[in-house]
Amino acid sequence: MAVDLPGVVRLRDRREALTLRAILTAARRLFAERGYARTPIRLIAKEAGVAPQTIYAHFGSKAGVLNGLVDLMDDEAGMPDLMAELQHTGDPVELVGLLARASRQMRERCGDIITILISGAAVDPDIAATRAEGARRNRLGVEMVVERLRGTGHHVAPKAADIAVALMGDGVHESLVGDAGWTHDDYEAWLKRTLVAAVLR
C-alpha cells in the first residue's frame, strides 16, 4: 500500500494550487478581453498551459471557472486578513473602517472581475448567478461586522446592514472613482466617514 509522505502531500497541494491559480488568471484575462460567452474552455486551457480535462476536473464547467473567480476575488482583495482583524478590534469606528477598506480593496484589486460580472449579468444566466453569489458573500460580511458592532454595546442603526450594503455598492464607487475621478484613498476615507455617520448613532 502506498503511503503519502507529508512533504510529498504538501508539494502536490502546492502544485495543485498553482494550477488552479493559472487557470483562474487565464480566465480572468480572457473574460475581460473577449467576454465570457466568446471564451471557450479550450482557450482558457491553452493560456493556462493545462489540458481542458484539467479545468473540467477542477471546476466542472465554464460557469464553475467563473465561480472560482469569486473565490479569487476574496483572496486577492485580502478578505481573510480583514476577517482576522475583525476578530481583534472592538472599536466601533475601526470596525466600520474595515467595511470601507474591504470595499476599496475589492474594487481596487479586482475591478476587472467586477466589471465582467456587472456587464455580463444582464445577458448571461451563469454570470448573473455568480454575481448574485458575490453579492450574497458581501452581505454576509457586512452582517458579520454589524453583529460585531452590536456586540460592542454601541447603538447601531436598525437597518445598518442595508445602509452599509447600499453605500458600498458598485454604483457609488463608479460615480465617485470612475466618473468624478476620486482616488481610492479619497473613496475609502469618504466611505468610512459616511458609514460611521449613517450606521453608528
Inform me whether the pLDDT recorded for 70 exceeds 90. Answer: no
12 has a pLDDT exceeding 90: no
The pLDDT value given to residue 110: 94
CATH number of 6-60: 1.10.10.60
Residue 150 has a pLDDT of 94
Average pLDDT, stretch 2-22?
71
Q: Which residues of 68-90 are buried (b: 16+ CB within 10 A; e: fewer)?
A: bbbebbbebbbbeebeebbeeee
Give CA–CA dist 32/125, Å, rounded.
17
* Calpha distance 15→90 (Å, rounded): 39
What pLDDT does 59 receive? 94
Question: What confidence tens digit (pLDDT) does each residue in 164-195 have?
Answer: 999 999 999 999 999 999 999 999 999 999 99
Residue pair 99/163 in contact by the 8 Å Cβ criterion: no
CA distance 1 to 17: 26
Alpha-carbon distances, residue 180 vs 101, 104, 115, 184 (angstroms)? 20, 16, 18, 12
User: What integer pLDDT is reported at residue 201 of this predicted model?
Assistant: 77
Between CA 186 and CA 193, with CA 190 as vertex, the angle to 5 degrees is: 145
pLDDT at 62 over 80: yes
pTM here is: 0.84
Model confidence at 15: pLDDT above 90: no
The three cell numbers locating residue 80: 481573510
Structure confidence by residue, pLDDT tens digits, 99-148: 999 999 999 999 999 998 988 888 889 889 999 999 999 999 999 999 99
Residue 4 has pLDDT above 60, yes or no: no
Q: How far apart are CA 114 and CA 106, in angstroms?
A: 9
If you average pLDDT over residues 58-65, what whole number do you get? 93
Which three cell numbers mark 146?
454589524
CA pair distance 141, 78, nearest whole angstrom: 13
